[in-house]
Amino acid sequence: MASTDSPGNGGRRGRRPGDSGTREAILDAARARFSGEGFRGATVRAIAGDAGVDPSLVMHFFGSKQALFVAAMEFPLDPAEIVPRLVGPGVDGLGERLLRFLLGIIDELGEANPMLGLVRSAVTHPDAARMMREFLGEAILDRIAAAIDADRPRLRAELCASQIVGILMARQILALPELAAADRELLVGIYGRTIQRYLTEPLASS
Amino acid sequence: MASTDSPGNGGRRGRRPGDSGTREAILDAARARFSGEGFRGATVRAIAGDAGVDPSLVMHFFGSKQALFVAAMEFPLDPAEIVPRLVGPGVDGLGERLLRFLLGIIDELGEANPMLGLVRSAVTHPDAARMMREFLGEAILDRIAAAIDADRPRLRAELCASQIVGILMARQILALPELAAADRELLVGIYGRTIQRYLTEPLASS
DNA sequence: ACTCGGATTCAACGGACGTTGAGATCGTGG
DNA sequence: CCACGATCTCAACGTCCGTTGAATCCGAGT
């Protein structure tokens, strides 16, 4: 990690001029570390180092590592605005729209992706698993479930979530080679049809 | 975790009679801890405690925490035997067969599931991610890819892997409620059709 | 009967971690 | 121009971790 040590320069104590943006620098470093190494793997000391700052300043700003995690993993997009925009045009082609959007922000956010941080932490840290379950559930799944007109809407939304989390794991974390290299529109087509089926087609097998 | 402390009793030093099964007790405890908390979260001391044994005995048997992890996460079933048995009857209904088998062993293994341990560790620990990628790739995906008669077989196998890992994440780790409670045969039907599509149907969207 | 070597424990090490408390610095409002 | 309070660093704490080294115990081979 490139320790740019832009703020907090010089080893001198005391306040530097202006607003100094140190708080934001710490949040950026925390996002990168938590996303890349999960809650346990990321250390307050490393985050402070990346931000060019003393570890105790992190505590001064955020109180605890846990609180820093919550602040850093806040999702940069508001689901209350995004989900209706995706669902708005109707249920036709919703699968493809959802996937194009998701793969887009995954590629755009790269390694500083709060979803990666949540997944990497949820897997080890029960508190983070609860955070993710609640965020996923209330902010996204229930909204989608409310928008589709079919039996067992919540189960359908969870089916979609299982495939989407799987994409995240396979491409970003396990880095399965052909999947990671595949053309985005190809994946939109393949996975989009799966999601569409989970959302609207009959569930019971023949 | 129920610290049964069956071996190593009494705080007395020296050798206890016979073969003593201590090594196996350590492996069992390691499987449970690694599966439940991942590589970083599981501690040698806790594993030793569960096995009723001094931490240094773990080192004596296995040399290092890393080596213990490798020994404990060895998959209890041999893919070289399982995969052909599943693929054998032909590609028809392969999706359902694969899923029935997978959901079966997931429920059977419960929390002491090496796949869970690998996933929980891969997410944080790059070495474990490599282990899992190689195991998945060589032992399973390539074998499946070799068995199907369609274009881009390896990509198809990775598509299946992405859905299967997603099932593991959603049901066992995130514990999405409706998915965790759903009837097994219902899931076999739903996911089986997805897997079947990834394996045999045309990839390109219309 | 006597050694030999594996099984086992105890005590300790050095390092990393999250967190704390005290103090230094300096822009800003009165 | 002075005191206040926010920003920032330093040094240290207690804890837990993986690992090591030495010592003890005892079954097995000769």
* A138 within a domain of the structure (yes/no): yes
A132 touches chain B (CB under 8 A): yes
Q: Which of A40, A72, A104 is the last residue of a domain?
A: A72
B54 and B24 both lie in a single domain: yes
pLDDT of residue B17: 45
Does one domain contain both A114 and A60?
no
A38 and A84 part of one domain? no
Shared domain for A66 and A110, answered yes or no, is no
Q: Do B24 and B85 lie in a common domain?
A: no
The 3-state secondary structure of chain B reads CCCCCCCCHHHCCCCCCCCCCHHHHHHHHHHHHHHHHHHHHCCHHHHHHHHCCCHHHHHHHHCCHHHHHHHHCCCCCCHHHHHHHHHCCCCCCHHHHHHHHHHHHHHHHCCCCHHHHHHHHHCCCHHHHHHHHHHHHHHHHHHHHHHCCCCCHHHHHHHHHHHHHHHHHHHHHCCCHHHHHCCHHHHHHHHHHHHHHHHHCCCCCC
> Are B46 and B97 contained in the same domain?
no
Tally of domains within chain A: 2
Q: Does B153 touch chain A (CB under 8 A)?
A: no
Residues near B174 by beta carbon (within 8 Å), at least 6 away in sequence: A122, A129, A132, A133, A136, A161, A165
Asked if residue B14 is part of any domain, the answer here is yes
Alpha-carbon gap: A95 to the closest alpha carbon of chain B (Å): 12
The vertex-A172 CA angle with A170 and A176, nearest 5°, equals 45
Q: Does residue B49 lie within any of the structural domains?
A: yes
In a domain, A205, yes or no: no
Residue B206 lies in a domain: no
Judged by CB atoms within 8 Å, which residues 6-65 of A form the interface with B?
A: 37-38, 40-41
Residue A53's domain comprises 9-72
Low pLDDT (below 50) residues in chain B: 1-6, 8-11, 17-18
Within-domain flag for B192: yes
Q: Give residue A15's pLDDT.
A: 53
* pLDDT for residue A18: 47
Dig out the tokens for B135 from the structure. 């195991």
Using a 10 angstrom Cβ sphere, with 0-12 exposed, 13-18 middle and 19 or more buried, the burial of residue B199 is buried
Residue B16 lies inside a defined structural domain of this protein: yes
**Chain B positions in Cβ-Cβ contact with residue A161 (cut-off 8 Å):** 170, 174, 176
Nearest nt to the A20 alpha carbon by C1': D7
On strand C, nucleotides with any atom < 7 Å from a protein CB are: 5-12, 16-28
Whether A178 and A148 map to the same domain: the answer is: yes
**CATH of residue B91:** 1.10.357.10
Cβ contact (<8 Å) for A167 and B171? no
Q: What is the DSSP letter of A16?
A: P
SS3 A32: helix
With beta carbons under 8 A apart, name residues in chain B contacting A38.
123-124
Tell me the chain B residues in contact with residue A163 when contact means C-beta distances shorter than 8 Å. Answer: 162-163, 166, 194
Query: Could you tell me if A32 and A96 lie in one domain?
Result: no
Please tell me whether residues B88 and B171 are part of one structural domain: yes
Is residue A1 assigned to a domain?
A: no
- Residues B139, B107 within the same domain: yes
* A-to-B residue pairs, Cβ atoms closer than 8 angstroms: 152
Distance A13 CA to C29 C1' (A): 23
Give yes or no for CB of A5 within 7 Å of strand D.
Answer: no
B86 shares a domain with B53: no
Number of H helices, E strands in chain A: 12, 0
- Give contacts of A177 with chain B, Cβ < 8 Å: 158
The residue from A17, A50, A72 where one domain ends is A72
Q: What parts of chain A have a pLDDT lower than 70?
A: 1-20, 205-206
The CATH number that applies at residue B52 is 1.10.10.60
> B64 and B120, same structural domain?
no
